[in-house]
Structure 1
Amino acid sequence: MFDPDKAAKIRAGQGFIAALDQSGGSTPKALRLYGVSEDRYASDAEMFDLIHNMRERIVRAPAFTGDKVVGAILFEQTMDREFEGHPAPVYLWEQRGVVPFLKIDKGLEETANGVKLMKPIPGLDATLERARAAGMFGTKERSVIDAADAAGIEAIVAQQFDVGRQVLAHDMVPILEPEISIGMNDKARAETMLRDAILRHLDDLPVGQEIMLKLTLPEEAGLYAPLVDHPKVMRVVALSGGYSRDEANARLARNRGVIASFSRALTEGLSDAQDDAEFEAALARTIDSIQAASVAD
């Protein structure tokens, strides 16, 4: 069964989940925003070393503790590396009080019926066995909705739950992430369709099983309240999705029971050029603002 101490932290922790899971496709942009241009590295290995250094700088900062950051989502390569000389998942939980999750999706298919399904995830059972042994509590898997298409949304939710059941079979908690693109003209309609599809699939989960959900901040405040209150949902978290941190925080604060799981909005304003004092002060202000929005009534 789930680790009870980690589950308690996720259920009741007064904070948010940091998304530190940039993969090969998103790492160059994350590094550029951090002030590291492509001419600073000559290979993927050097690129991943640089992004790992950024992540390590974040997690060792004094403000990055379980008091305000209840969880962190890691890229698989990060799970296999170290922070401060400790295996990354062990360091996060034992040194910082932060629950570790693993990003397991391997990218997206081409658009069909207005959505991008996840590509197949080869060797997933073996990855999950290794992740659980390493101390990971759960997983995160992302797909994308670009249109309010009923067939597409049903397909994306069905796939998310199929992968989620595979994760649950390994006594880990899946974070299902059917992201809705923020630039859609019919975003609000797609959000209602997504909520209703998720509720239908939750009915098919056995009693006693729990998932988590990572959703785009909705146009209608409180839209996801039935998911927040559902007995089979451990926690609902929100992605920043391209909104600025201020806009994401404002939207988040209007949604009771939803906490942040921000990536770009978390690292906004951080720079490789900052000395440690500047970096840690900027990160502390960011963590305070995201945590406050996450626990707003």
Structure 2
Amino acid sequence: MEYEKQLQRIKNGSGFIAALDQSGGSTPKALENYGVSSADYDNDEAMFDLVHEMRARIMTCDAFDSERVLGAILFEDTMEREVNGKPTANYLWEDKNIVPFLKVDKGLAEKMSGVQVMRPMPNLDLLLDKAKNYPVFGTKMRSVIYEPSADGIELVVQQQFDVAKQILSKGLMPIVEPEVDINSAKKHDCELLLKADILRNLERLTDDHQVMLKLTLPEESGFYQALVDHPKVLKVVALSGGYSRSEACAKLKQNPGMIASFSRAFTEGLSRQQSDDEFAETITTSIEEIYQASKV
């Protein structure tokens, strides 16, 4: 019942998906950008306390509303914590009408064949079962492509879709994220191979299955339109990938049908040192800019 409501919300709602899923490896950088240095914590537990405090501050802000925010991607640690006295996913869905997703990958393997595939996820079924205890709608998992290596890109896409099928079998919606590095010298060549591989794998899905796609903003405007229009794709969302918010939003506007799922670009300018009013003003500006770019 909840899943169906969430499905309709993602399918028909307007807005974007906030990526609040920095994990162990990326949390120190996220905190540094937020004005918290590594000297402010001395272990992982304290680090995750601080990043949860940041995320809770964002989520409870009035501007973080269902008019403009469709969904939010959470890290496992965040899912298991509370916001305003409720489990985070329950708070988002029940209090804010914002659809929760869960990051499920365990980071990237070593670079090979011009790509980084995902590390093995032996406990994925357990994590998915845990997510089912909350009103979590879907999942997200990330690989990275650096070079236009046909074998490497095929490996990335195949792994993503194999895991996506495991997630679908648990009744959750997978966000497939094969990121193309924005600094790749042959970014468009990577995108050509990637699109072809994604289309091939979409055709192999059973008729009743859909996935979501999270892709780097392409070099060529409207390049992913065939994926946006594909019946087996619920939504195509864009990652910011290191672009500034203004750059990412400008590129997003050139790709109708794609919506934002920004992380760094979303939290750009936020600081722990800001007063609540300053914080609210900064997040309101960010949300409005990303929302407008996602409406095109």
Structure 1 position 65, deviation (Å) = 1.2
- In structure 1, the partner of 2:200 is 200
* 8 Å CA contact 1:2, 1:171 repeated in 2: no
Cα distance in 2 for partners of 1:242, 1:85 equals 34
Structure 1 position 2, deviation (Å) = 7.5
Cα distance in 1 for partners of 2:67, 2:130 equals 28
- In structure 2, the partner of 1:71 is 71
TM-score normalized with structure 2 length: 0.99
1:24 aligns with 2:4: no
Counterparts of residues 260-271 of structure 1 (less than 5 Å): 260-271=260-271
Cα distance in 1 for partners of 2:61, 2:134 equals 23
- In structure 1, the partner of 2:165 is 165
Q: Runs of 5+ in structure 2 lacking a partner? A: none
- In structure 1, the partner of 2:151 is 151
Cα distance in 2 for partners of 1:148, 1:88 equals 39
1:95 aligns with 2:95: yes
Cα distance in 2 for partners of 1:2, 1:288 equals 27
Cα distance in 2 for partners of 1:191, 1:207 equals 26
Structure 1 position 122, deviation (Å) = 2.0
4+ residue segments displaced more than 6 Å? none
Cα distance in 2 for partners of 1:257, 1:180 equals 19
Cα distance in 2 for partners of 1:95, 1:165 equals 31
Cα distance in 2 for partners of 1:2, 1:162 equals 26
Q: Which moved more, 1:125-134 or 1:15-24?
A: 125-134
1:181 aligns with 2:186: no
* 8 Å CA contact 1:115, 1:145 repeated in 2: yes
- In structure 2, the partner of 1:220 is 220
1:44 aligns with 2:44: yes
Structure 1 position 123, deviation (Å) = 1.1
Structure 1 position 134, deviation (Å) = 1.2
SS at match of 1:4: helix
Structure 1 position 208, deviation (Å) = 1.4
* 8 Å CA contact 2:2, 2:135 repeated in 1: no
Cα distance in 2 for partners of 1:2, 1:147 equals 41
Structure 1 position 43, deviation (Å) = 0.9
* 8 Å CA contact 1:2, 1:172 repeated in 2: no
- In structure 2, the partner of 1:247 is 247
Cα distance in 2 for partners of 1:264, 1:3 equals 28
Cα distance in 2 for partners of 1:126, 1:94 equals 24
Give CA deviations for 1:60-105 in whole Å, capped at 9, x if unaligned. 0001011101000000010000001101000000111100000000
Q: What is the letter of the counterpart of residue 277 of structure 1?
A: D
SS at match of 2:132: helix
Cα distance in 1 for partners of 2:160, 2:92 equals 27
Cα distance in 1 for partners of 2:177, 2:284 equals 27
Cα distance in 1 for partners of 2:213, 2:264 equals 19
SS at match of 1:133: coil
Cα distance in 2 for partners of 1:44, 1:67 equals 35
Structure 1 position 127, deviation (Å) = 0.9
Q: What is the letter of the counterpart of residue 286 of structure 2?
A: T
Q: Which moved more, 1:123-132 or 1:160-169?
A: 123-132
* 8 Å CA contact 2:249, 2:293 repeated in 1: yes
* 8 Å CA contact 1:73, 1:101 repeated in 2: yes
Cα distance in 1 for partners of 2:205, 2:39 equals 49
1:59 aligns with 2:74: no
Give CA deviations for 1:28-77 in whole Å, capped at 9, x if unaligned. 00000000011111111000000000000000000101110100000001
Counterparts of residues 227-242 of structure 1 (less than 5 Å): 227-242=227-242
1:287 aligns with 2:287: yes
Give CA deviations for 1:145-178 in whole Å, capped at 9, x if unaligned. 0100001000100000000000000110000000
SS at match of 1:3: helix
Cα distance in 2 for partners of 1:122, 1:80 equals 20
Q: CA RMSD in A?
A: 0.8
Q: What is the letter of the counterpart of residue 206 of structure 2?
A: P
Cα distance in 2 for partners of 1:219, 1:32 equals 30
Q: What is the letter of the counterpart of residue 72 of structure 2?
A: A
| Alignment coverage as a number of residue pairs | 296
TM-score normalized with structure 1 length: 0.99
Cα distance in 2 for partners of 1:2, 1:211 equals 18
